[in-house]
């Protein structure tokens, strides 16, 4: 049969796409196809970790003292097994063409996952401090359950606490994947490399961006659309971006930043300062400052 | 077998998480575990209510005059039964340790749901006014169907109309849950306590925040990233937040607010006023005002 | 049985909703019920197209040289069949009461889909240019895979490239549906009518809005919450909005616009210009300009 | 790449299978591919019809007087729409290469489905008579609900009543599909062409076979592994089977046949007769007979 | 609109079905609709119990010493909670119109489930004896895993062991539901009231029927299509069946019955006897007998 | 908390079940837990193979000349990958504690699967011969599609053809798993070790059993409940069953066996013979014989 008679010319399109992949617009340079981490598995892992951390809110509704530890142990076991596999894929993938280390990756991903598991109680402690910060920071909040179920900023914080732990343990691709899932769900974009102290609260949240090298102290409160970003990107002599350099703000303890404020560059905002809404800030601020936008409204 | 030989030390982690829940980082103080409202059920309820309100857009594609009432009646029946259960859980949960009223909650949730059902035609009328506002307010809109299927601002309005009704009838936790689902889907965060008149339209929508005590008149039009927030939070003598006090703006009829404007505090924006993009506004504005940001651009 | 004894008075509510649909708050004026495009099908089509374009990232994890073309051909075949049906529904729906053309729509949707299929390699080439722009534009980016899996701005660009092709081929309702799905997933709202050159990169992305008649050259870089919008809407003599008129900005090649900037109206930003964060811009800007917000911060 | 290097030689296998389909082992002779009825859809139709007939047993568990008619109407509407489509496929398929009647098939399948719908109350009456027969015929039966939920013979009867109606109305392929689904579920194989009076009961059921031209009167009771089959198949002069000729037994009212009996050929078993277990019967039996296997057991 | 114009006359059919349910062919006589046990839940409970009993064969494939108890505890907890609810429904339903005992049923179903849970280790011991009987009784069996995964007779035995325990504890409707699920899956129909000793093995299985009052000793081996049934049903003076009377065979230890044999009535087959294929047996047999069918084959 | 207060005493039951698994009723003797083949995966593999063999009947309904090879190639690729994994598990499992060959198993399962793939066209040819036998053997059969969709005997034959190929290639556990799935679906139990020639047809099917070492020639026709079994099991000197010895019948070409006949032992039924219903046969039969049960019916 002549292909020209086909409705969609599938053979032609399939062939063109193959050429695009292999020659014209090739974007992977691998000698062998390798499995990538996949979103569905990571979402299931997150569901398991949330349930293990807060079983009565994110787990089964019918848990009792008799059954709760079995539930937590089982959901953890499933999530950690899957996490080991996803971390292995991430490590294997990032290794480029040096695949001699495949066995090492299997062991490494297992031990890395075990270390992550041992950090879960500490992660839970941080999240509880975040929930308390939400309870005391929002006059509309009525209960811990409302906060756990209905606050996107708290959801973003939980995702971040998990992603940051994985990032520090050596699973950066997994960590980024989780931060992007959180971004999609909550509108809050926190790079897992950022360091954030206890009692962290983001209200409303949509549009918040926190960069890779940002450092936030204890009891930081942010409102929607706050950016903690880079002012400019350092380049090397050839004009290429230098990856990983410190370029995001440092917030000392008890800083509050209102909606829409943009804070850029490796500046320090001193403890207990308040930054007003829509402020554009690129210089250091001493402790106990109160920065607000100039009022310049015409009629 | 020695636990130390285990891959993940599950027994140790499970034990630490139990201690975290019960002692160190306890966040619930219940004598008995109680079922919470769950997101999956509420999403199914919303799907049912959307289908009952607009069966040809959100329901079955093959409905006819012969089948449409059976479809609406059945989808409503399922949604209302489930809503009764979810409201019961919310009431029961909010009751704290006073569980003597369990039977009362069953009856209350049923009658509350019945009242909500009787309001559905009125809710539909408000939503139709919102759709018409979108049709006349956006030059890119081409049909009612495009608006119902493709406008996140209209989706946010439908969620709000439902949530607000439940909020006023006495199911605040359910209402908040719905508003958070809308927030996650559309990027629009409207507290269900806000009061909004007919003909309400949000264009693009991402980043819009409308606070708990805001009051919006008829024919309000908002663009993306508009905040109708609180300026500061009133505290009592001990420095604790006073929950529920009026603290968000009042918008009279026919006000338009462009993208990124921030309106804070219990101020009133007079009828027919236009607030420009990125404006920062904390004072009353008389009717028919036209507020815009000062132009101060350097080259 | 008396309806008054019913728990929810379903017959009364169903009847009121029917009256609302047919009389009081009627929003469709069709002589016959017609099937609308549905979100679930379109999401499945998008999943198929993503997999056909980047099979190792969005398709099956276990693909080999032996199996990849079968996978691509099959996933394309399923997606294109479904796309034909959805386009047919959109055409049929948009035709209003002139249904004499039903057969024509069947043929038209098939040929339109075939033309779309033939554009897929070119669409892939544009997306590869977008990925490369992300790689060179973000110092935190570490690999093509991280960009494909974790960058909402790149996800938004892929959705846009697909939607724009369908929009230009004559399937505007489908195109808008896709852009809204992208908006919901990424917080980035690009109207499918906008024209955007190769090497397009949006970082973080939440809150970006690009209007229907915007024209963007090559190598444009945008940050979160940038608006490329209309200043005002042209009206005809009767005060009705004129639909479709040119009303959004033109960006020449190599323009960068930082977070929160608002660019409104049919203005032109000259090549290689940089627009700073939170800038409010409504006038033409010559090439190589560097616009930033006036610093006016009070202490 | 050489195909010989492939793991599974997919191209070779795919090519061989195509040749097998098109040349060597071709079993379809169609000018155009046509959609066949599919099992998943038919199973969903059956689920819907069972629910419409016995909503409190096979439908939703929470039905009330208020909701039951909406449920029945909606589940029927969905099932009948799908049934129309499946019947259309069956008619279209059976038409061979005479496809000029495609439009006729659409109308025919719709009117045939409507006639089937109008027979549902009569079908329900027959099934109720079957249930009563089970209740009075099995000393282990304790309630109507146990019979509806736990008796494969009753399940087989319900499937048969539905399939027989479709068979007589002119949808034989659908009818056969349903009888095979019943066979797979219950081990009872009743050809939909068989004619069976009210009060029919099969106990245990596994292995029962009732042929296409069998005629069973009222109040027939059968036990497991009873065959009502053909003795030999009539052939025409060329040795080809004559399709459709009467070749299976006639059972008059109130006949009981015990487990494992084999009744073959166009014979008549007179009213009120009892046929014992494992009997092999190929001759007429007068009314009120009591046939049992000769006892011939050696030690 | 005239209903006569409708495609399927849904209102007429729905009305006729309501009349059939309420008047003409009414089969339930309840003052209030009550929820029945449902097959989907019971199938999930069975899946859970199978997994708890043999976690490495019917549970998760990746279990380790570290995780297996969490898995078993969790899967049991879910299954037992659901079993309690299903038993409650069964009790409540069987109570007819005497609903004053609703609270009692809640407690009763919970304590009954607890007693069932405590019997699980003993049930497992019996099943292990059945598996060993299969291993030693079938020359084609190669491993315990093959037996657990591929032998319908063993699957039927596991279902029976569970159903029988529930039957004896006082949940007969649940028990019957389980036996019917087993029947549908394996073709083996064992009434849960039958009593069967350890080391029970059915080979092939299809068509085996074991009646309610049958008693089987230890190490019984049956082949396909064996019936252990009632010869006739005892009636009271009015010709009504007497429910529950002893009417099925007793098999002493170590009896083997070959394919197709039919054993009817309250007879006793003595220990170590062998009954040949297709034998029809209605009289007592002394121990160590060897019964076979008379050979009477004509040419 | 005292465990005695628990509702179900989960800790006690879990502990008892562990003891049952590890000590009292231990049935596996492995040094390490190994993954077993799982039914869900094998069912998916079968669905894929059926679709690859008969894509228009068991695959997608919308296939065209343009898309069919992509569909077949893709569905095969998925099925073969999964089959490789399931075969690997089966080999690994059967290896007992000799796990030094793990790598070998990986390679072996891949090459075994490749050989199986290369046999698929020949398997299809056999199945087509079986379909033709059904078409010519049953007067009720109306089309190839009816036979493929509605004949359990043909479904059983397809399962057998696949299972037998895997059995001969060296994957016996997989093969048995498939034969048991077929048994559950069709009531036909064919051991994958049996050898069956082309043109094989089973009508109705329920209760047919064909043993491991049976040999069937060409154009064999069987009816429901036919057993081709072993007369007795050979034992070694210690009374243990000798596994795998020839013990089932040989049927020469063109033999027909009617419903319920039982043929036992290593006997030969000569070509063109007919065995009547319910016949019990344990001796050789010369070609062209016509065996029927003696008529011995009392009144």
| Percent with pLDDT over 90 in chain E | 64
Quick one: closest CA in B to C18, which residue?
B69
Which pLDDT value is given to residue C299? 36
Neighbours of chain C (3+ CB pairs under 8 A): A, B, D, F
pLDDT reading at D225 higher than 50: yes
For residue C138, the model assigns a pLDDT of: 85
Tell me which chain C residues have a C-beta less than 8 angstroms from the C-beta of B295.
Answer: 280
Touching partners of B (3+ C-beta pairs < 8 Å): A, C, D, E
- Convert the pLDDT of each residue in C115-127 to its tens digit: 999 999 999 999 9
Position C172 confidence tier, pLDDT thresholds 50, 70, 90: very high
The verdict on a CB contact (< 8 Å) between D74 and B78 is no
Strands annotated E in chain A: 189-190, 195-196, 201-203, 209-210, 215-216, 221-223, 227-229, 250-251, 256-257, 262-264, 268-269, 274-275, 280-281, 290-293, 297-298
Question: What is d(CA C35, CA B242) in angstroms, rounded to the nearest whole number?
Answer: 51
Q: For residue A298, which phi and psi values (nearest 5 degrees)?
A: -95, 155
Residue of D nearest to F61 (CA): D35
Cβ(F76)–Cβ(D10) under 8 Å?
yes
- D48-60 burial: b if 16+ Cβ within 10 Å, else e: bbbbbbbbbbbbb
Helix axes F68-94, F39-53, angle to 10 degrees: 140
- Of the residues D206, D226, D294, D295, the best mutation for testing chain E's interface (the one with the most E CB atoms within 10 Å of its CB) is D206
User: D13 vs F124: CB contact, 8 Å cut-off?
Assistant: no
C-alpha distance from B67 to closest chain E C-alpha (Å): 7
Q: Is the pLDDT of residue C195 over 90?
A: yes
> Considering only CB atoms, which chain F residues are within 8 Å of C66?
77
By mean pLDDT, which of A61-65, D54-58, F42-46 is the weakest? A61-65
Among A3, A14, A179, A258, pick the best mutation site for testing chain C contact (most C Cβ within 10 A). A14
Spans in chain B with pLDDT lower than 70? 1-5, 27-34, 95-103, 233-235, 239, 241, 293-299
Instruction: Give tens-digit pLDDT for D231-287.
Output: 876 667 776 767 778 999 999 999 999 998 999 999 999 999 999 888 889 999 999
Residues of C in contact with D9 (CB under 8 A): 66
- Cβ neighbours of F70 in C, within 8 Å: 69-70, 72-74, 76-77
List of chain F residues whose C-beta atoms are within 8 Å of the C-beta of residue A7: 64, 66
Residue A138's pLDDT band (boundaries 50, 70, 90)? confident
Q: What is the 3-state secondary structure (H, E, C) of A95-133?
A: CCCCHHHHHHHHHHHHHHHHHHHHHHHHHHHHHHHHHHH
pLDDT tens-digit profile of E142-194? 888 889 999 999 999 999 999 999 999 999 999 999 999 999 999 999 999 99
* Cβ distance of E67 and B10 shorter than 8 Å: yes
Within 8 A of C136 by CB-CB distance, chain A residues are: 241
> Other CB atoms closer than 10 Å to residue A286's CB: what's the count?
11
Distance from CA of D238 to the nearest CA of C (A): 46
Whether the pLDDT of residue E26 is over 80: the answer is no
List of chain C residues whose C-beta atoms are within 8 Å of the C-beta of residue A223: none
CB contact under 8 A, A35 and C61: yes
Mean pLDDT of chain D: 88
Query: A touches which chains (3+ CB pairs under 8 A)?
Result: B, C, E, F
Closest Cβ opposite residue D10 in set C6, C7, C66: C66
Stronger pLDDT, E185 or A35, i.e. the higher one:
E185
- Considering only CB atoms, C209 lies closest to which of B132, B224, B278, namely B224
What is the mean predicted confidence (pLDDT) over D181-199? Answer: 97
pTM > 0.90:
yes
> Tokens 């009477």 — which residue?
E296
The chain E residue lying nearest B69, using CA atoms, is E11
Which residues in chain D have their CB less than 8 angstroms from residue E38's CB? 61
Cβ neighbors of A49 (< 8 A, separation 6 or more) are: A76, A79, A120, A162
The partner residue sitting opposite D277, judged by closest CB among E11, E280, E290, is E280
Give me the total of CB pairs closer than 8 Å, taking one residue from chain A and one from chain F. Answer: 25
Per CB-CB distance under 8 Å, the chain C contacts of B114 are 7-9
B59-68, D210-219, E202-211, F182-191: lowest mean pLDDT where? B59-68
Chain D interface disruption, residue of F48, F52, F297, F299, most D CBs within 10 A: F297
Report the distance separating Cα C273 and Cα B299, nearest Å.
Answer: 11
Nearest-CA distance from B59 to chain C in Å? 10
> Which residues of A fall within a CB distance of 8 Å from C141?
243
> Which pLDDT belongs to residue A104?
81
- Amino acid A9: pLDDT: 86
Per-residue pLDDT, averaged over A92-111, amounts to 73
E203 pLDDT higher than 70: yes
pLDDT of residue D193: 97
Q: What share of chain E is helix, strand, coil (3-state, %, to 5)?
A: 50, 10, 40
Average pLDDT over residues D101-130: 90
Would you place residue A286 in the very low, low, confident or very high pLDDT band (cuts 50, 70, 90)? very high
Cβ contacts of E73 on chain F, cutoff 8 Å: 10-11, 14
The DSSP symbol for B216 reads: E
Percent over 70 (pLDDT), chain E: 88
Closest chain E residue to B66, measured at CA = E6
Q: Reply yes or no on whether the pLDDT at E3 is more than 50.
A: no
Share of chain C above pLDDT 90, in %: 64
Best of C224, C295, C296 to substitute, by most chain A Cβ atoms within 10 angstroms, is: C224
Q: Which of A76-80, A82-86, A276-280, F283-287 has the lowest mean pLDDT?
A: A276-280
* Three-state DSSP class for residue A249: coil
> Helix, strand, coil % (nearest 5) of chain D?
50, 15, 40
Q: Cβ(C191)–Cβ(C171) under 8 Å?
A: no
Tell me the two tokens of residue E243: 């429910």
- In terms of CA atoms, which chain E residue is nearest residue A63? E77
CA atoms within 13 A on the CB side of D123: 22
Q: How many CB pairs under 8 A join D and E?
A: 172
Question: How far is it, in rounded angstroms, from Cα F228 to Cα F223?
Answer: 12
Q: What's the number of CA atoms in the CB half-sphere (13 Å) around residue E107? A: 4
Lowest mean pLDDT among C228-242, D206-220, F135-149: C228-242
Best to test chain B binding among C21, C27, C91 (most B CBs inside 10 Å): C27
Which among B132-136, D30-34, E23-27, F33-37 has the top mean pLDDT?
Answer: B132-136
3-state secondary structure of F251: strand
Q: Do E150 and F33 make contact, defined as CB atoms within 8 angstroms?
A: no
User: In which order are the strands placed within the sheet that holds D221-223?
Assistant: D201-203, D221-223, D256-257, D274-275, D290-293, F297-298
Give yes or no for residue E1 having a pLDDT over 50. Answer: no
| Closest residue of chain B to A146, computed from CA coordinates | B173
Cβ of D10 within 8 Å of Cβ of C70? The answer is yes
Residue E96, classified by CB atoms within 10 Å of its CB into exposed (0-12), middle (13-18) or buried (19+), is exposed
- F298 vs D280: CB contact, 8 Å cut-off? no
Q: What is the pLDDT of residue A1?
A: 38
Q: CA triplet F147, F149, F154: central angle to 5 degrees? A: 55
**Using an 8 Å Cβ cutoff, are F45 and F76 in contact?**
no
Is the ipTM beyond the 0.85 threshold? yes
Q: What is the dihedral of CA A213, A217, A222, A228, to 10 degrees?
A: -20
Residue from C238, C151, C213 nearest C188 by CA: C151
Chain C interface with D: residues with Cβ < 8 Å: 1, 6-8, 10-11, 14, 64-67, 70
Tell me the C-alpha distance between F15 and F29, whole Å. Answer: 19
Q: Which residues of chain B have a CB within 8 Å of the CB of D70?
A: 69-70, 72-74, 76-77
- Structural domains in chain C, CATH included, are 36-188 (1.10.3130.10), 207-235+243-299 (2.160.10.10)
Asked if A121's CB is within 8 angstroms of B17's CB, the reply is yes
Helices C152-169, C39-53: crossing angle, 10 deg rounding: 110
Residue A269 has phi, psi (to 5 degrees) of -105, 120
In the predicted structure, residue E245 carries a pLDDT above the cut 80: yes
Q: List pLDDT tens digits, range C265-276.
A: 999 999 999 998
E10, E18, E225 member nearest D207 (Cβ)? E225
Chain E contact probe: residue of B12, B60, B64, B66 with most E CBs at under 10 A:
B66
The average pLDDT across D88-97 equals 76
Summarize pLDDT for F38-78 with one digit per residue, the tens.
899 999 999 999 999 999 899 988 888 889 999 999 999 99
Task: Say yes or no to pLDDT of C250 above 90.
Answer: yes
Burial level of A298, CB count in 10 A (0-12/13-18/19+)?
Answer: exposed
Q: In what order do the strands lie in the sheet with B256-257?
A: A297-298, B290-293, B274-275, B256-257, B221-222, B201-202
Nearest chain C residue to B68 by CA distance is C18
Decide if pLDDT at D211 tops 90.
Answer: yes
Closest residue by Cα to residue A227 from A280, A148, A172, A160? A280
pLDDT at A298 over 50: no
With a cut of 60, say whether residue A32 has pLDDT above it: no
Give per-residue pLDDT as tens, B219-250.
999 999 999 999 876 667 776 767 778 999 99
Q: Do E14 and B64 touch (CB under 8 A)?
A: no
Instruction: Quickly state the pLDDT bin for A65 (edges 50, 70, 90).
Output: confident
Give the pLDDT confidence score for residue C34 in this predicted structure.
65
């Amino acid at each position: 049969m002549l292909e020209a008679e086909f409705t969609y010319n599938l053979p032609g399109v399939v062939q063109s796409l193959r050429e695009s992949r292999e020659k014209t617009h090739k974007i992977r340079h691998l000698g062998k196809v390798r499995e990538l981490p996949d979103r569905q598995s990571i979402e299931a892992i997150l569901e398991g970790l949330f349930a293990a951390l807060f079983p009565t809110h994110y787990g089964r509704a019918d848990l009792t003292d008799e059954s709760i530890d079995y539930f937590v142990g089982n959901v953890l076991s499933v999530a950690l097994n899957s996490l080991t596999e996803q971390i292995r894929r991430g490590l294997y993938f990032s290794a480029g063409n040096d695949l001699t280390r495949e066995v090492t990756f299997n062991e490494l991903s297992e031990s890395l996952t075990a270390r992550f598991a041992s950090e879960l109680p500490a992660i839970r402690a941080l999240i509880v401090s975040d929930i308390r910060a939400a309870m005391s920071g929002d006059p509309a909040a009525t209960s811990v359950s409302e906060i756990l179920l209905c606050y996107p900023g708290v959801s973003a914080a939980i995702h971040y606490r998990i992603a940051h732990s994985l990032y520090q343990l050596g699973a950066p691709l997994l960590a980024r994947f989780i931060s992007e899932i959180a971004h999609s769900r909550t509108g809050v974009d926190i790079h897992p490399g950022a360091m954030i102290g206890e009692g962290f609260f983001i209200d409303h949240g949509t549009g918040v961006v926190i960069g890779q090298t940002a450092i936030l102290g204890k009891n930081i409160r942010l409102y929607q659309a706050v950016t903690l970003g880079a002012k400019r990107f350092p380049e090397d002599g050839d004009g290429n971006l230098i990856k990983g350099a410190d370029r995001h703000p440092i917030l000392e303890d008890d800083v509050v930043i209102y909606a829409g404020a943009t804070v850029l560059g490796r500046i320090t905002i001193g403890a207990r300062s308040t930054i007003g809404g829509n402020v554009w800030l690129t210089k250091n601020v001493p402790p106990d400052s109160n920065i607000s936008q100039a009022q310049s409204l015409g009629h």
